[in-house]
Amino acid sequence: MSYSDRMQGNHLYSVLLSPRGAPRMVDQGRQIAQQFLSPFDSLIGLIGDSGSGKSILLKGMFPGLELTNDDEGVNVRPLPILDQDDTGFFTPHTYHIDIRFEMGFSQVHELADAIRLALERGKRVVVEHFDLIYPHLGMNAHLLIGIGEEIIITRPSVFGPEPDDIKKVVFASINNRRMAHTAEDLLEHCLIDQRVYHFDHNDVRSGFILSFHDRPTLDLRALERDVKSLIAQNLPISYLDNTHVMIGDQRHYCTGPRMHVKSTGEIRNFQLYHEFLVHPITKDSQILGLVNIPSDYKLSELNSLQLMTFSEPDSDGS
């Protein structure tokens, strides 16, 4: 066993902030593949709600992999993993399957049998909604990834974690990410009204950061009031296309159009930090926006290290 294989075997779990927007999610997938994926991983499982970015993450992890749940993939029939050619040479090395999507076409035991057959033939299988197939499969994934507000990357063993443990964590936190993303787009909308167009996006727990190389002249308290006004109007948010959403009757550019609450009124406890923050290294000026946290928060605690526990969420979903 090589040194790199031993290091992968010692990997318990890692936690990353889930980025918003397709380009950042693809880049995150590329980094995950470089740091955590072993060439000997045959079964990769992903867990997360619809729109959380599983498929986009896979595009970064496995460039060129045909995703059978893409809009274009509806016509990929029969599903490649269900039509394996036993000659071996010309069959794919890596199969993709979205269990929730395919359960509309096939029995779950048929999907489990096809996955086991592919693994027996030395193929790699990448499974979205792995928690749905796990009870029928009889084996856990070599690499298990959960996507909620954070990305959890783990190598399950006989000691766990079980897919349902990951599911409880990521499903409990995903709405914070949706609220933060929608609030971020509302702030962008207000900045465009003030002719501020150029900034970078960064992430923080329960919120977002907009970074400026040149600090704009802005009243952050007034900006907060403008965003809260849009929230109070309870404007509907709807998917338009791969790079746009509708906010009320306004078309807005967005590279993560499926990661939103259904209306602005669903955003809870939005607040802006009332002063520009300055990045200690780049010296960029930053606007911090937060959702669904107490007003007496401390900046130093937003991304503080916390013991990861795989337990039941509280009754309020936190």
pLDDT one-digit tens code per residue, 22-80:
889 999 999 999 999 999 999 999 999 988 999 999 999 999 888 887 654 455 667 88
d(CA 154, CA 32): 11
Q: What residue has token string 């403008």? A: 226
18 falls within a domain: yes
Both tokens of 153, joined, read: 């990357």
Quick one: 112 and 219 in the same domain? Answer: no
Of 35, 270, 265, residue with least CA distance to 153:
35
Q: Say whether the peptide bond before residue 280 is cis (omega within 30 degrees of 0).
A: no
Of 69, 70, 57, 53, residue with least CA distance to 28:
57
Question: Residue 17 carries which DSSP code?
Answer: E
Quick one: 119 and 259 in the same domain? Answer: no
Q: Are 210 and 286 in contact (CB under 8 A)?
A: yes
307 falls within a domain: no
43-48 and 124-128 as β-strands: parallel, antiparallel, unpaired?
parallel
Q: What share of the chain is helix, strand, coil (3-state, %, to 5)?
A: 35, 20, 45
d(CA 239, CA 223): 25
Quick one: 155 and 204 in the same domain? Answer: no
Quick check: helix, strand or coil at residue 62? coil
Q: Which CATH number characterizes residue 41's domain? A: 3.40.50
Quick one: 144 and 221 in the same domain? Answer: no
Quick one: 246 and 197 in the same domain? Answer: yes
99 falls within a domain: yes
pTM for this structure?
A: 0.86
Quick one: 85 and 196 in the same domain? Answer: no
Phi/psi-derived region of residue 280, left when phi > 0, alpha when psi is between -120 and 50, beta in every other case? alpha
pLDDT digits (tens, 9 = 90+) for 275-288: 999 999 999 999 99
d(CA 238, CA 102): 25
Counted residue by residue, the chain has a size of: 318
Least confidently predicted of 17-26, 237-246, 308-317 = 308-317
The amino acid at 167: K
Least confidently predicted of 126-135, 186-195, 305-314 = 305-314
Q: Are 73 and 105 in contact (CB under 8 A)?
A: no
Please check the confidence at residue 297 and state whether its pLDDT lies above 80: yes
Question: Residue 262 carries which DSSP code?
Answer: S
Say how many domains are in the chain. 2
Quick one: 18 and 141 in the same domain? Answer: yes
Both tokens of 162, joined, read: 């079980």
167 falls within a domain: no
Please check the confidence at residue 222 and state whether its pLDDT lies above 60: yes
Out of 103, 138, 161, a domain closes at 161
Give the mean model confidence (pLDDT) for residues 167-184.
Answer: 94
Q: State the pLDDT at residue 87.
A: 56
141 falls within a domain: yes
d(CA 177, CA 155): 24
Of residues 2 and 133, more confidence is placed in 133
Quick one: 97 and 181 in the same domain? Answer: no
pLDDT digits (tens, 9 = 90+) for 87-141: 555 667 899 999 998 998 899 999 999 999 999 989 999 999 999 999 999 899 9
| Sheet order of strands, 244-247 included | 237-241, 244-247, 250-253
Supply the DSSP string of 210-241, one letter for each residue. Answer: EEESS-----HHHHHHHHHHHHHTT-BEEEEE
Q: Which CATH number characterizes residue 205's domain? A: 3.30.980.10
Q: How far is CA 272 from the centre of its chain?
A: 24
95-121 as b/e: b if 16+ CB within 10 A:
bbbbbebbeeeeeeeebbebbbebbee
**Domain ranges, residue 60:** 3-161
pLDDT tier at 309, thresholds 50, 70, 90 = very low
In sequence order, the 6+-apart residues with CB closer than 8 A to the CB of 292 are: 176, 179, 206, 268, 269
Out of 119, 134, 161, a domain closes at 161
d(CA 174, CA 313): 12
Out of 134, 161, 188, a domain closes at 161
pLDDT digits (tens, 9 = 90+) for 161-170: 999 999 999 9
Q: State the pLDDT at residue 311.
A: 40
Mean residue pLDDT across the chain? 87
Q: What residue has token string 């780049």? A: 282
pLDDT tier at 3, thresholds 50, 70, 90 = very low
169 falls within a domain: no
